[in-house]
Amino acid sequence: MSVELVIFDCDGVLFQSEAANIAFYNAVLQQAGEPPLSDTGEAACHALASAQLFEKYYGDRPPLLAKIREIAHAVDYRPFFPLMTPRDDLYDVLARLTQRYKVAMATNRGKTVEELLDHFDLRRFFDLAVGVYDVDRPKPHPDMLLKCLRHFSVGEDRAVYVGDQETDRQSAEAAGVAFVAMGPVVADAHLRVTELTELELLIAEL
């Protein structure tokens, strides 16, 4: 395998963003008059798109679900960006990878994708950034990764996807793309790193 395209998830891979995402969802729920996320809800918000999360917990109450979705769409995420912590050596690693590979992002984020690229000065590193509004189906479906492959005219056997959740692994598997797990959440991953700096050697050896 000779890698041509490296695709990154965002939350949990490029950033430690748990605090920001939880704070955002709890702000939405507070405006809706609902209690904050439970422990299981907090865990789910790192793996699911907002539409999936809201459907999971409020789908049995359609009027409330519609209200929460409307509030979430209106809430400005930018005040939560300071709660996101870039991974160690993020910019250095991305700078080196872009010299050898095409680099893309595939994330279950929606309207915040473009704002995030600008806020953290990441646009210069990514040839393409795909969010939930750019495809028909979010992860764990393969749509985002397939869009990346088509955009660069790269075969699935020439791409890797770096993610931290089971939904990321499922998306990569469905797209036929090699999966690299960041951290311990995906227990049965064949390829794994704990730091971004480990990626360069791992990818070079594939």
Kindly state the helix (H) or strand (E) to which residue 16 belongs, with its residue range: strand 15-16
Instruction: Evaluate whether 1 touches 154 at the Cβ level (below 8 Å).
Output: no
Confidence of residue 206 (pLDDT cuts 50, 70, 90): confident
Lowest mean pLDDT among 9-18, 46-55, 91-100, 176-185: 46-55
**What are 88's two structure tokens?**
């160690």
Measured distance CA(158)–CA(66) in Å, rounded: 41
Residue 1 has pLDDT above 80, yes or no: no
Class of 5-16+84-205 per CATH? alpha beta
Give residue 37's pLDDT band: very low, low, confident or very high (50, 70, 90): very high
pLDDT on residue 74: 94
Give the separation between CA 161 and CA 145, rounded to whole angstroms.
8
Residue 44 pLDDT greater than 90, yes or no: no
Per-residue pLDDT, 76 = 93
CA dihedral 141, 145, 147, 149 (to 10 degrees): -140
- The domain segmentation of the chain, as residue ranges, is 5-16+84-205, 18-81
The whole model's pTM is what?
Answer: 0.93
Q: Return the pLDDT at 45.
A: 85
User: What percent of the chain stands above pLDDT 70?
Assistant: 100
> Could you report the per-residue pLDDT of 113-140, keeping only the tens digit for each?
999 999 999 999 999 999 999 999 999 9
Q: How far is CA 26 from the centre of its chain?
A: 19
> What mean pLDDT is reported for the chain?
95
Average pLDDT, stretch 99-108?
97
Peptide bond into 140 cis (omega under 30): yes
- Token code pair at residue 177: 């793309």
Average pLDDT over residues 14-23: 95
Residues 6+ apart with CB under 8 A from 100: none
Residues sharing a CB contact under 8 Å with residue 178, sequence separation 6 or more, in sequence order: 1, 159, 160, 161, 172, 191, 206
